[in-house]
């Protein structure tokens, strides 16, 4: 009876009615006809208010709230972001260069990432994309002079201490920045320096497993760090080293990235539901705990599984399979719904029993963008996984998801999570999102896993008060898919009132109806929510994501701008906000770049040709040539 027409951004539910004959009719017929019309009108009204459009055409709530902002306005918004970058970068150049970062309140500097001028290296590709040729021109000589030497040993607490470059941060900020700027500008010095740095950092890979150690002395190759590594730090270098191998033709770089991939692929994580936990033994290449998270210490490792597959023009199938196993577990075990606002969130679990902590980190807000990117670029299908390779819990997730259209699930999770990430900004008097919250899970104990038999429900323990999203999705489907999928319905910001702030223990237990307590009240100029809004806008075309990005940019301008730059915020509940003397380089590399790309009228850096590293440095998708395959010993991907 209902037909849906997809008209670009919007999907309309329309009603196709019968026409009545025009001949003279009796009063009885007229009454019948009037009743029929009434029924039809009621059905039409119900349909409109249930939004029961086929879910493939579903594009997210709220679109109708916005008059489409004109392209002139978006262009001027992009220009405002560019001016923000210039303000921050000039402040850095005047008061802090060539040190690492600007202290935007005291107008001093700090060296927290090797002292090589991390803000310059992290900003190179942002300058190119924004067309800031003068700034880029001033940065190139700094790159040219860089020798990546560390300061001499220092005496600290009466002992002589050697200096080391942290491997992960140096790779994602410096190496990623150089490679991306090279790909965008073709300035040869950028690749030469990337090659130098890639070589100097390589001793980090000298472990039995091939997973890198925490830090390297770039002068003599001495390494440093515990035998147990952090997931994000040991498994977020594949993009940079693979692309470096492709650009330089050096087999050793390919092997280093490939060893990391193969070690991860070999690891038995069946006890962890086939998802990679946080801590790894660098000798055995095996996990040493059961803590599952997409937040701190884990985040980018999950991100690189999908992105390595995309960067290699979909030839690194091992990375794809790990991505599917990981997202299967996330969708079935780590996504929960909040008590009264139906907010979808992703949390951590531990102790092998998949018990959720209900902590939700700002860092985890990259996940909606990742899921949306995967759903947009892949033919997501469980057929790419061999069930025989899965552990018992992984197999349960697999069977549960088999009942669904996987791309739709990924898209809904992406949109629900991104909405929550944004809501955490919109709720705060400053308009900025807290670094971490403790969510109030649904208080009604969820029993759906008991009602379904066999593989149809998650089977994961559902503690009192916790409602797994996948179980709510099962119920929603059973009930005929009325209204929005769980977590995706109409959501309204609930700003904290001054009274709540004065009287409430906002860091203790969640306020009734608000559904969360603040665990960390700071906003560290982080990019993750904006990154996801950008990917959601690009992949759905829905202007609501762009408007939400504008809301955040206005808050950044209003609350964090200083005379020389932008500063992290101590407490998002206060406006005007109290500031910290800190402007991380990722603000220039990621936060402002994603805002600029979100508002820019052209599709700069399209997803089918570029892949962003975890520090927002885009690298071009490439195909191995026959010569490279032969040289690096890469087998042909199966068709
Ligand atoms: C960035 O340095 C990178 O995105 C990293 O992967 C984790 N998050 C910070 C910014 O929040």
For the segment 383-410, what is each residue's pLDDT rounded down to a tens digit?
Answer: 999 999 999 999 999 999 999 999 999 9
Cα gap 387→382, rounded to integer Å: 9
Residue 228's pLDDT is 98
Residues 496-537 have pLDDT tens digits of: 888 888 876 677 777 778 899 999 999 999 999 999 999 999
Could you tell me if the CB of 614 is within 6 A of ligand 1?
yes
Whose tokens are 């990337």? That residue is: 194
Q: State mean pLDDT over 197-216.
A: 98
Most confident of 29-33, 302-306, 455-459: 302-306
Question: Taking 80 as the threshold, does the pLDDT of residue 259 lie above it?
Answer: yes
Question: Taking 50 as the threshold, does the pLDDT of residue 1 lie above it?
Answer: no
Question: Taking 50 as the threshold, does the pLDDT of residue 467 lie above it?
Answer: yes
Instruction: Tell me, rounded to whole angstroms, the distance of Cα 203 from its chain centroid.
Output: 30
What is the number of the ligand 1 atom nearest to the C-alpha of 300? Answer: 6
Residue 456's pLDDT is 36
Residue 5's pLDDT is 24
Of 179-193, 227-241, 347-361, least confident by mean pLDDT is 347-361
Neighbouring CB atoms inside 10 A of 364's CB total 25
**16 pLDDT band (50/70/90 cuts)?**
very low
Which residue is closest in CA terms to ligand 1's atom 1? 615
Residue 220's pLDDT is 97
Distance 302 CA to ligand 1 centre (A): 13
What is the number of the ligand 1 atom nearest to the C-alpha of 362? Answer: 11
Residue 377's pLDDT is 98
Question: Taking 60 as the threshold, does the pLDDT of residue 562 lie above it?
Answer: yes
Residue 30's pLDDT is 58
Could you tell me if the CB of 526 is within 6 A of ligand 1?
yes
What is each CA distance from 524 to 82, 140, 521, 528, in whole angstroms?
A: 20, 28, 10, 11
Question: Taking 50 as the threshold, does the pLDDT of residue 160 lie above it?
Answer: yes
Q: CB under 8 Å to 303, separation ≥6 — which residues? A: 236, 366, 370, 614
Residue 446's pLDDT is 46
Residues 20-76 have pLDDT tens digits of: 222 333 556 555 666 665 554 444 433 333 333 333 333 344 444 556 789 999 999
Question: Taking 90 as the threshold, does the pLDDT of residue 465 lie above it?
Answer: no
Distance 527 CA to ligand 1 centre (A): 8
**490 pLDDT band (50/70/90 cuts)?**
confident
Residue 210's pLDDT is 98
Query: Looking at residue 630, what DSSP letter applies?
Result: H
Q: State mean pLDDT over 490-494.
A: 87
| Contact assessment for residue 467 and residue 343, using Cβ atoms and an 8 Å cutoff | no
Could you tell me if the CB of 174 is within 6 A of ligand 1?
no
Most confident of 17-21, 183-187, 478-482: 183-187
30 versus 614: the higher-pLDDT residue is 614
| Contact assessment for residue 263 and residue 284, using Cβ atoms and an 8 Å cutoff | no
Q: State mean pLDDT over 275-299.
A: 98
Question: Taking 60 as the threshold, does the pLDDT of residue 135 lie above it?
Answer: yes
Output the pTM of the full model: 0.88
Could you tell me if the CB of 540 is within 6 A of ligand 1?
no
Cα gap 406→399, rounded to integer Å: 12
What is the number of the ligand 1 atom nearest to the C-alpha of 526? Answer: 11
Q: State mean pLDDT over 322-348.
A: 96
| CA atoms 384, 385, 387, 392: torsion sign | negative
Could you tell me whether strands 108-110 and 286-287 are parallel, antiparallel, or unpaired per DSSP bridges? unpaired
Distance 263 CA to ligand 1 centre (A): 24
Could you tell me if the CB of 553 is within 6 A of ligand 1?
no
Distance 119 CA to ligand 1 centre (A): 14
Residue 17's pLDDT is 25
What is the SS3 assignment for 76?
A: helix
Average predicted confidence (pLDDT) for the chain: 87
């Amino acid at each position: 009876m209902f037909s849906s027409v997809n008209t670009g951004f919007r999907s309309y539910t329309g009603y196709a009615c019968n026409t009545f004959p025009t001949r003279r009719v009796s009063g009885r017929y007229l009454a019948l006809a009037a009743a029929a019309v009434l029924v039809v009108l009621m059905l039409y009204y119900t349909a409109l208010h249930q939004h029961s459009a086929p879910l493939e055409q579903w594009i997210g709530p709220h679109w109708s709230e916005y008059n489409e902002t004109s392209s002139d306005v978006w262009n001027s918004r992009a220009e405002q972001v560019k001016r923000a970058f210039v303000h921050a970068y000039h402040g850095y150049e005047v008061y802090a260069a060539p040190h690492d970062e600007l202290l935007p309140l005291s107008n001093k500097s700090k060296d927290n990432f090797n002292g090589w001028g991390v803000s310059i290296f992290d900003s190179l590709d942002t300058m190119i994309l924004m067309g800031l040729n003068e700034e880029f021109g001033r940065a190139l000589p700094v790159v040219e002079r860089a020798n990546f030497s560390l300061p001499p040993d220092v005496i600290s607490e009466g002992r002589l201490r050697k200096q080391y470059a942290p491997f992960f941060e140096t790779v994602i900020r410096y190496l990623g920045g150089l490679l991306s700027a090279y790909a965008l500008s073709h300035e040869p010095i950028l690749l030469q320096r990337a090659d130098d740095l890639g070589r100097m950092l390589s001793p980090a890979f000298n472990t039995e497993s091939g997973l890198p150690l925490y830090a390297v002395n770039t002068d003599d190759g001495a390494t440093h760090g515990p035998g147990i590594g952090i997931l994000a730090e040991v498994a977020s270098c594949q993009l940079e080293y693979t692309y470096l191998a492709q650009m330089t033709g050096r087999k050793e770089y390919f092997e280093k990235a490939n060893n990391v991939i193969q070690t991860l692929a070999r690891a038995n994580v069946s006890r962890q539901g086939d998802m990679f936990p946080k801590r790894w033994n660098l000798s055995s290449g095996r996990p040493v705990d059961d803590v599952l998270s997409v937040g701190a210490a884990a985040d980018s490792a999950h991100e690189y599984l999908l992105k390595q597959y995309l960067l290699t023009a979909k030839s690194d199938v091992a990375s794809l399979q790990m991505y599917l196993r990981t997202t299967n577990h996330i969708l079935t075990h780590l996504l929960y719904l909040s008590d009264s606002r139906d907010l979808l969130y992703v949390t951590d679990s531990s102790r092998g029993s998949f018990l959720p902590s209900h902590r939700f980190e700002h860092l985890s807000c990259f996940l909606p963008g990742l899921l949306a990117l995967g759903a947009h670029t892949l033919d997501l299908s469980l057929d790419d996984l061999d069930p025989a390779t899965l552990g018992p819990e992984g197999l349960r997730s697999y069977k549960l998801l088999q009942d669904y259209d996987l791309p739709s699930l990924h898209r809904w999770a992406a949109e629900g999570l991104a909405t929550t990430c944004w809501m955490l900004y919109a709720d705060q008097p400053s308009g900025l999102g807290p670094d971490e919250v403790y969510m109030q899970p649904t208080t009604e104990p969820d029993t759906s896993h008991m009602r379904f038999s066999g593989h149809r429900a998650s089977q994961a323990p559902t503690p009192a008060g916790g409602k797994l999203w996948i179980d709510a999705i099962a119920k929603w489907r059973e009930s005929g898919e009325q209204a929005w999928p769980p977590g995706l319905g109409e959501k309204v910001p609930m700003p904290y009132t001054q009274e709540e702030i004065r009287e409430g223990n906002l860091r203790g237990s969640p306020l009734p109806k608000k559904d969360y307590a603040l665990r960390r009240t700071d906003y560290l100029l982080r990019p993750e929510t904006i990154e996801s809004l950008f990917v959601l806008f690009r992949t759905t075309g829905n202007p609501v994501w762009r408007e939400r990005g504008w809301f955040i940019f206005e808050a950044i301008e209003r609350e964090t701008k200083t005379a020389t730059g932008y500063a992290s915020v101590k407490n998002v509940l206060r406006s005007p906000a109290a500031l910290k003397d800190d402007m991380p380089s990722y603000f220039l590399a990621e936060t402002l770049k994603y805002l600029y790309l979100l508002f820019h009228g052209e599709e700069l850096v399209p997803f089918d040709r570029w892949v962003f590293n975890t520090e927002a440095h885009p690298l071009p998708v490439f195909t191995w040539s026959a010569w490279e395959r032969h040289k690096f010993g890469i087998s042909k991907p199966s068709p």
